Structure 1
Amino acid sequence: MHRNSRFARFASAVAHLAGRPVTFAVAAGLMVVWAALGPLAGFSEVWQLTVNTGTTIVTFLMVFVIQNTQNRDSMAVQIKLDELIRATRSAHNALLDLEELSEEELIAFRQRYMELAERARVEAIRGGDGDADVEIILPEPAR
């Protein structure tokens, strides 16, 4: 079941390594060495260009690596949440693919849940459990 592409495996490994304290320490150490070499290089344009070019290249490549990892992580979390919704008897399966809706549709859903939360808080203050007699009426999705 673990059939990740080579790039996905590479991206995961690089993202994992990039997030380690030792990687930060190495990067910080390189910056200290670079700064210490400034006076020896006369703070020349080549000295400045070295760090600017290096950091730009690393940043550019890391954006794609980290985005790939983030996309897969986000998709996995979404699938897990969808399964929880699907498996919960009182949950509404209409919520399974909310991430595919437009921003306006998401705002309508969010507003409805904010209203439900407010009603539940009022009910809880009155001594109820906060969820009694609260029927979820989902907004109609725009077509």
Structure 2
Amino acid sequence: MSKKKMFECASEWLAEKAGSATTFTVAIAGIAVWAATGPLWGFNDTWQLIINTSTTIITFLMVFLIQNTQNRDTDEIHIKLDALLHATKGAHDNLLALEDRNAKELKALRRKYAELGRKTQTQP
């Protein structure tokens, strides 16, 4: 199995687990245990460093996981929208694969369709 495929499988599995009620409960329990140990450690710098380091590492890794999930979801939506445009009579084929257009082309298309929308609104 390629590294890319392994990453995709792992990220899908992690995304599913990270968004579960069980994971949320475990996180809350971990924070409760950390808070309860405060008096034992005297609320010192090491005690604070444990939670700060843990949450920083988890947040750092979750950024990549969330971005991967978002990219996959965006790709799926693009494919579905392209299929709908392709199947719709009267749809403009130039709207397919907009993700391949540069910013200038997208702005021009946006202006064109905004003008069409204004014309449609003024018609009885």
Normalising by structure 2, we get a TM-score of 0.86
Distance 2:121 2:21 in 1: 43
The aligned counterpart of 2:68 is 68
Is structure 2 residue 12 aligned with structure 1 residue 12?
A: yes
The aligned counterpart of 1:130 is none
Q: CA RMSD in A?
A: 1.7
1:58 partner amino acid: I
Gaps of 5+ in 1: 127-143
Distance 2:114 2:92 in 1: 16
The structure with the largest helix share of the pair is 2
- Cα deviation for residue 87 of structure 1 reads 2.0
The aligned counterpart of 2:34 is 34
1:46 partner amino acid: T
Is structure 2 residue 113 aligned with structure 1 residue 113?
A: yes
Is structure 2 residue 48 aligned with structure 1 residue 48?
A: yes
Distance 1:87 1:118 in 2: 25
- Cα deviation for residue 29 of structure 1 reads 2.1
Gaps of 5+ in 2: none
Higher-Rg structure is 1
Task: Report the 3-state secondary structure (helix = DSSP H, G, I; strand = E; otherwise coil) of the residue aligned with 1:5.
Answer: helix
Normalising by structure 1, we get a TM-score of 0.75
The aligned counterpart of 2:22 is 22
Q: Report percent identity of matched pairs.
A: 49
Q: Deviations over 1:37-78 (max 9, x none)?
A: 212211111111111111111111122222222212211211
Q: Deviations over 1:78-123 (max 9, x none)?
A: 1111111122221111111211222222122112212222221222
The aligned counterpart of 2:86 is 86
1:6 partner amino acid: M
2:5 partner amino acid: S
- Cα deviation for residue 6 of structure 1 reads 2.0
Number of residue pairs aligned between Structure 1 and Structure 2: 121
Distance 1:96 1:105 in 2: 13
